Amino acid sequence: MHPEASNSMDRFDELTLPRFTTYLEMKTRHEEYFAHQFSEDVVTTGDLYTWTFTVASNAADGKAALSWDATAWSGSSAALLLLDISNQVLMDIENCGSL
């Protein structure tokens, strides 16, 4: 979130690049914008926002890892939760650093 961002395409967002021979991508969808897939999606500051994203890869073993700096939220009153829909697992981002 950023106070100067909008909930659609702005200078803080990035479009998903076309796939080449090998790819690993994480993307959100924006039907309102002509290029529907964003690889970075920053929205305006608010109390609540839900990002729905997909992860895709053509890696031979079909495996990918997602990791983040869990300390980035320490001391904040905000919560960031990740719901893994495929496995029905809800994680508090501050209390773990990978999936």
In this prediction, residue 67 carries a pLDDT of 82
Residue position matching structure tokens 């690049």: 17
Contact 66, 93 (CB under 8 A): no
Q: What does the alpha-carbon distance between residue 6 and residue 41 come to, in Å, rounded to a whole number?
A: 10
Domain range summary for the chain, segments of one domain joined by +: 1-59, 66-99
Q: Each residue of 72-95: pLDDT tens digit?
A: 766 777 788 888 888 898 888 777
Contact 1, 46 (CB under 8 A): yes
In this prediction, residue 73 carries a pLDDT of 66
Q: What does the alpha-carbon distance between residue 1 and residue 45 come to, in Å, rounded to a whole number?
A: 5
67 class by beta-carbon count within 10 Å (0-12 exposed, 13-18 middle, 19+ buried): exposed
